[in-house]
Amino acid sequence: MMTTSSQTEYQPFDLTEEVLASLVVTPGSAYPLGPALRLDGIRFSVVSRFATRVWVGIFRDVQDLEPAWEFEYDNAKHRTGDVWSIHVGGLAQGVYYKYRMDGPYDPSAGHYFDASIYLLDPRAKAFVGNVYDDTIKSVLILDGADRPCDTRPRIPMNETIIYEAHVGGLTQDSSSGVANPGTYRGLIEKLPYLKSLGITAIEVLPIQELGETRLGRCSVKGGGELINYWGYSSIGFFAPTARYGCSAHTWEHVDEFREMVEAVHDEGMEIILDVVFNHTSEGDQRGPNLCFRGMVNTIFYLMDDEGNYLNYSGCGNTVNCNHPLVRDFILDSLRYWVSVFHIDGFRFDLASILGRDQNGEVIENPPLVERIAEDP
């Protein structure tokens, strides 16, 4: 198992006045998409087909609602096709950031651009803060793609015995007897017990970053908004949720998740992720602009000709899984979890939606399902 780093190593990037004054912006590259940590700075690349203006904001603290530094992309210099990209020299790991986008606001055409709202990076590798009060931030981290792979058990399917578990619920009660209840590390403490049951694989309920208080339902008794306890409300498909971290001020929780995966493998067991690519926590037209809705709404979600969300998921929206750009997004996410975090397999929530076309119709040979099955 990897050695846990000391707490002092996890620090947000220090945005001093001297640093802010020295930042240098140059055109970025359109590929690969998403954030990228370079030797001399950070490249910010994001996709939006219908945006007319794009900004990236850098924040000093998680609680800050306004950035300490913001830069507007130049449509001529910083845009290649639908990709907006810049390189900011002088920044490093631990930067808190979000985007703003301006463009058409026309719900009947499916557009909800709002330049006053800061948006999460759909390809961010870490998030911290609270989705509910909009303090949540994307965090720039080194993703660890070159980390040596631990030993995968590679258990044959006909010998596999799966134990489904909620990472938080498994140990949050005091009866679990763990030192870190309700966390990735709490699950590590229970691994000897789980192995004693004879299981060969742990399937964890959704751990991709989620909008747990964006459920839109209230308690009958107290009237307060209910929490999406089970986690089926994803918004960050490349990032382990901070919800189950012992600490989550920068990227500690990402390493804690990595520790959990490696500990499972050390016990000779496999780990399977329950993934939710059928809807997001942005909901329908009444929902918030958290990410996709304010960037690529008409591409990422299924909509009718009047701009209404097609709700095959029963959760307000339905991901447009077989749009070419969304297909690539989902495949990139799956590859990331396998190659960077060494995940052994996936359980696809409401997988029938992966087989719908861009009109919502079920198709005989869904391109996305075929791509997943044949991906090397």
pLDDT tens over the chain, length 376 residues: 344 444 448 899 999 999 999 999 999 999 999 999 988 999 999 999 999 999 999 999 999 999 999 999 999 999 999 999 999 999 999 999 999 999 999 999 999 999 999 999 999 999 999 877 788 999 999 877 667 767 889 999 999 999 999 999 999 999 999 999 999 999 999 999 999 999 999 999 999 998 765 556 666 777 777 778 899 989 999 999 999 999 889 999 999 999 999 999 999 999 999 999 999 999 999 889 999 999 999 999 999 999 999 999 999 999 999 999 999 999 999 999 999 999 999 999 999 999 999 899 999 999 999 999 999 9
> pTM for this one?
0.94
Q: Which of 291, 289, 285, 371 is nearest to 331 (CA)?
A: 371
- Each as own residue / partner, the long-range contacts of residues 63-68 (CB below 8 Å, 24 or more positions apart, any chain) are 63/129, 63/135, 64/96, 64/135, 65/118, 65/134, 65/135, 67/97, 67/98, 67/118, 68/15, 68/20
Q: What angle do CA 35, 41, 46 make, to 5 degrees?
A: 25
- Measured over the CA atoms of residue 218, residue 221, residue 223 and residue 227, the dihedral's sign is negative
> For position 3, what pLDDT does the model report?
40
In three-state secondary structure terms, 83 is strand
